[in-house]
Structure 1
């Protein structure tokens, strides 16, 4: 099926076995939720989490929120996870600890087989790969082009830093995030993440500064674990009114310049040429996509 890139600025993790969090997730303002079956769920609660996710995904989807599920690796219960959660309500599967293209292809093949079995339109369920091991960095381009289902990639900062023997701080995570972002751009998929630890939700000013860096890196969205982080992601990863106004002005002046046979022109004290025009077009495309997302669905 043809796939339109989703607008997911904020994707909030919810441990699938904690009912009080799951039942309120649609009220948190995030663009999407990730029902987590992996790290936040103790081994003794995995079966319970699968059962909750199976029911909750439909309820959350009915409330108009995009639903993703993070599964375990296939070696630690991932197949059981897929059998429990594949349904028409599921938008994407977050695949943890991806260190090779084959890891993505195996999950994609399983979904290919399971979608018709569970009444899901062919190709509906996308994938997001979490890069959590330093050994995966040389494989990023191969991973990014591994499957048409792959919507994007994100660096898993905590596990990645353990594998690399570094601290999860912006100074050490900037480079790896940049590598992920570049690989995503080369492959035409979505770059998610920010150069910092996902676990520190108490310092919102510090989080904001980190998300600003993420946007400068080209990230379009990020995972989060606390409702307070959602508003920051949504604000920072949305073009500001000033950016939209400038972009609109650039394109209006472009029409005049082209009519006069000029490929470059001055606007508000800046020289405008092809790269600036392309950036303006990208800003307006994202602005329109976010605005469209905010509009309520209309029944016909």
Structure 2
């Protein structure tokens, strides 16, 4: 269960040293956009120190690598440092994932294979997203909202981003992998009410979690993407009533004035599974 992913610049020790204490499920150490070119090599070299230090806080650590001639070296450094996954920007097709898969196998030794989270950030990637979602090691998909808008020559408004982000989300759900994001850009973190509304909307659509660039947003994401106590209680009632009615030969029934049938029972079962999985990670 991953509700919150916090980006931290890979060249900012004052942020990195506290990153594992922010309450995020995942800290994304960013080697790409947040790091100027002159500092990228130093940031990569710092993974050996920062990845295990952040993981001691109890969260997972992903590394956003550079999609350039730095890609392979960034990916190997993240793997050797013990990162759980790579955030791979500007993925345009599954071939890049297949190549990284083969390259990293030789560097993994006894560690579990590092996972991939492709970022879809241009039109080519958007129209190849179903194939990308089926690529090796993929555990989740997400969109780069600002880059997508730029690729379209558009402004990153919720209206502009809604359809492409839903395309990426649907591809993730078809492939059975996680889907991260909200139906808006995540750059503006000052308006907490708007962020909360966007997170709740994303959860209603079935997104699993979202990323942020400021630690003040982490509690909002954790709250919005996790099942509420009322939802958990209702799901338990649904499953208990379903067991009773199934024993009586009924596949559909009324519960507290609401009609319940198979899709609602499945949704309740999935919600409880997500809740129990979240508790198991605490």
TM-score (norm 2): 0.97
Contact persistence 1:141–1:183 (CA under 8 A): yes
Contact persistence 1:13–1:35 (CA under 8 A): yes
Q: What does residue 155 of structure 2 align with?
A: 167
3-state SS of 2:106 partner: helix
1:81 aligns with 2:74: yes
Match of 2:95 among 102, 125, 131: 102
Give the drift of 1:108: 1.7
Give the drift of 1:216: 1.6
Match of 1:20 among 14, 17, 20: 14
Give, in whole Å, the separation in 2 of the partners of 1:169 and 1:264.
Answer: 42
Identify unmatched segments of 5+ residues in structure 2.
none
Identify unmatched segments of 5+ residues in structure 1.
1-6, 295-300
3-state SS of 1:257 partner: helix
3-state SS of 2:46 partner: helix
1:120 aligns with 2:111: yes
Contact persistence 2:121–2:145 (CA under 8 A): yes
Give, in whole Å, the separation in 2 of the partners of 1:150 and 1:193.
Answer: 16
3-state SS of 2:139 partner: strand
Give the drift of 1:64: 2.1
Match of 1:192 among 163, 173, 180: 180
Q: What does residue 297 of structure 1 align with?
A: none
Contact persistence 2:78–2:86 (CA under 8 A): no
3-state SS of 1:146 partner: coil
Contact persistence 1:193–1:214 (CA under 8 A): yes
1:256 aligns with 2:244: yes
Give, in whole Å, the separation in 2 of the partners of 1:169 and 1:57.
Answer: 34
Contact persistence 1:35–1:67 (CA under 8 A): yes
TM-score (norm 1): 0.91
1:139 aligns with 2:128: yes
Match of 2:24 among 5, 12, 30: 30
Give the drift of 1:179: 1.1
Cα RMSD after superposing both structures = 1.2
Mean CA deviation greater in 134-143 or 157-166: 134-143
Give the drift of 1:88: 6.2
Give, in whole Å, the separation in 2 of the partners of 1:223 and 1:53.
Answer: 20
Give, in whole Å, the separation in 1 of the partners of 2:212 and 2:182.
Answer: 10
